[in-house]
């Protein structure tokens, strides 16, 4: 595997929990990897498996749910 490989990650984040933490990190000028894409959801309890599979199908190397 090449050393310059950077995985594309899609993060499905709860509006009230994980997304707030990511927003706070941005407000504090903390850096996180630019290859992470955050999708804000009202509640991660409503995430369907098909959303995760669609992210992988569209080219993401990883998808995770944070609530």
Do 33 and 5 contact (CB within 8 A), yes or no? no
Tell whether 1 is covered by a domain: no
Return the sign of the alpha-carbon dihedral for residues 14, 18, 21, 22.
negative
In a domain, 4, yes or no: no
Residue 2 forms part of a structural domain: no
Is pLDDT at 6 greater than 70 in this prediction?
yes
Residue 56 has pLDDT above 70, yes or no: yes
Q: Quick one: what percent of the chain has pLDDT higher than 90?
A: 52
Within-domain flag for 48: yes
- Mean predicted confidence (pLDDT) in 15-25: 83
The pTM for the full model equals 0.81
Three-state SS for 47? coil
- The answer to the question of residue 28 being in a domain is yes
The domain total for the chain is 1
pLDDT value at residue 28: 85
Contacts of 15 (CB under 8 A, 6+ apart): 40, 41, 42, 43
Distance of CA 25 to the CA centre of its chain: 14
Domain span including residue 39: 9-66
Whether 15 is covered by a domain: the verdict is yes
């Amino acid at each position: 595997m090449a050393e310059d490989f950077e995985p594309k990650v899609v993060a499905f984040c709860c509006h009230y929990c994980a997304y707030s933490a990511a927003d706070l990190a941005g407000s504090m000028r903390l850096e996180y990897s630019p290859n992470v894409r955050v999708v804000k959801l009202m509640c991660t309890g409503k995430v369907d498996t098909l959303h995760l599979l669609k992210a992988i199908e569209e080219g993401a190397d990883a998808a995770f749910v944070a609530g």
